[in-house]
Amino acid sequence: MAKTLFASVVFVVFLAAVFQSSVPVPAAVVDVKSPAGSGSAEPNLTVAPDGRVFMSWIEPGQGKGNVLYFSVLQSDMWSAPKVIARGSNWFVNPADFPSMAVMSDGTLTAQWLVATGEPDSEVYDINLAFSKDAGATWTKPIVPHRDRKKRQHGFVSLTPMADGKLAAIWLDGRNMKDEDSGDMALMYTTITSSGVLGPEVQIDKRVCECCKTGMAATSDGLVAVYRGRSEQEIRDISIVRFANGKWSAPEGLTKDGWKIEGCPVNGPAVSSSGKNVAVAWFTAPDEKAQVNLEMSSDSGKTFGRKIRIDEGNPAGRVEVLSLPSGEAFVSWIERVTGGSPQLHVRQVAANGTPAAPVNISGTVRVASGGFPKMVASPRGLVLAWTDSADPSRVHTALVSR
C-alpha cells in the first residue's frame, strides 16, 4: 500500500512538472500505433496509481460474439493485448462502453454489459470482474445491482477510493414501469478488491435515460456529474458530492434550460486533481449546440464562470482533464464544414483563458456515436477514439507540449 501511495505522489509531481505552465503553448500530436484490430471500437482509458495508462476496447469474436481486450502503454508503445472476457450475449452500444479501473492495491477491474432481455431490447446487466495477476486471469463476473429486474443497468463510472474500495455509479431502470416508460435512477455502491459489495444507494430518482455519467475523487471525497431530467423535460447537468459517508442532494450545475423530449445520448465528463475539478458538457438549448467547461478549486463545491469551448458546430462527446496547475484540457467532436467529424482538444489556463483548438484526429473520420477518451501520462495527453470506416478501428495518439 505504501508503495502504491508513493507511486501516486510521484506521478502527480511528475504531471505538475510536465504541465507546470498555465499559459497555453503549442502542442505536438504524435500518432501511436494502436494495439486494436480490425472491427475494434468503444475504447476507454484509465490511469493506474503508478501512472501507467490502460486501454480497453471491444473487437468482434470469431463467429458470433465479442471480445473485451486491454493493453498498457509503455513509453510510446502499447503492450500486446490481453483478453478480459468473451461473450455472445453482450449489449454493445458505442455510448455505453466497457471500462477499467486500477484499485489502490493493484487489482484490475473491468465492467461490460450483458443482454438479459429479448433481442433488440435495451435490457441488460452490468458485469464486473477482477484480476490480481496483471490481467493473466479474471474472476467470475459479479453483478453490482441487486434488483434482478429485466431493466436497463448501464452507463457505469468506476473510481478507486482512498479507503481501497472501488466506487461505482450507474443508470438503473428498476423503478421504471416497463422498458420504455417511467423514471431512470442513478445508483451507487462500493466494491472491495475481493468483490464484496457495499449497500446500494439511490443518488437521484429521476435522471436522463441514456447519457453517460462521470465521477472523480477529490481531496475531500467523490464528485459525480450526470444529465438530470426535470418534470418539464429540462435535461441540464446535475452534480452530487460524497463526503463523510453520504451523498449530497442533487443540484443543478448548469442552467442551460435545454428542453428535449428524448435523451440526447451525450453525457458530461468530470476530472479532478486534488481540490481542482473540471466539468465539461454538451448542450443545445433552442437548437444551438455548445460544448462548455466550468472549473472549481474547492473540490466541486463552487465553480467559476462558464467557458465556451467548441468552434461553432460541435457534436459533443466530451472528455475533460483537470491538472495540478489548475488548468484543464477538453476534448470533443467538432463537425467541420465540407469535411469529416474531427476530434479536437483545447487547453484552458487556470484563469479561464482558452488556447487555440488542436485537431487530434487529422483526416481520420471520427465515429460521431462514440466517446473519444483522454487521460494524462508522464509523456503528455493520451487520446483514443474510433475510426468510423468500415470496418471500424480504434486509434490512439499522444499530445505533448
Ranges of each domain in the chain: 2-400
Distance in angstroms (rounded) separating the CA atoms of residues 70 and 171: 24
Say what the pLDDT of residue 164 is: 96
Distance in angstroms (rounded) separating the CA atoms of residues 260 and 165: 37
Q: How confident is the model at residue 401 (pLDDT cuts 50, 70, 90)?
A: low
Instruction: Tell me: cis bond preceding 49? Omega within 30 of 0 counts.
Output: no
Distance in angstroms (rounded) separating the CA atoms of residues 58 and 65: 10
Say what the pLDDT of residue 368 is: 75
Q: Kind and range of the H or E element at 4?
A: helix 2-18
CATH number belonging to domain 2-400: 2.120.10.10
Distance in angstroms (rounded) separating the CA atoms of residues 337 and 231: 37
Distance in angstroms (rounded) separating the CA atoms of residues 394 and 384: 7
304-338: pLDDT as tens digits: 999 999 999 999 999 999 999 999 999 999 998 87
DSSP letters, 9-42, are HHHHHHHHHHT---S----EEEEE--S--TT-EE
Q: All 3 cell numbers of residue 328?
A: 484543464
Q: How confident is the model at residue 225 (pLDDT cuts 50, 70, 90)?
A: very high
366 close to 341: Cβ distance less than 8 angstroms: yes
Q: Is the pLDDT of residue 25 over 60?
A: no
| Percent of residues in the chain assigned helix, strand, coil, to nearest 5 | 5, 45, 50
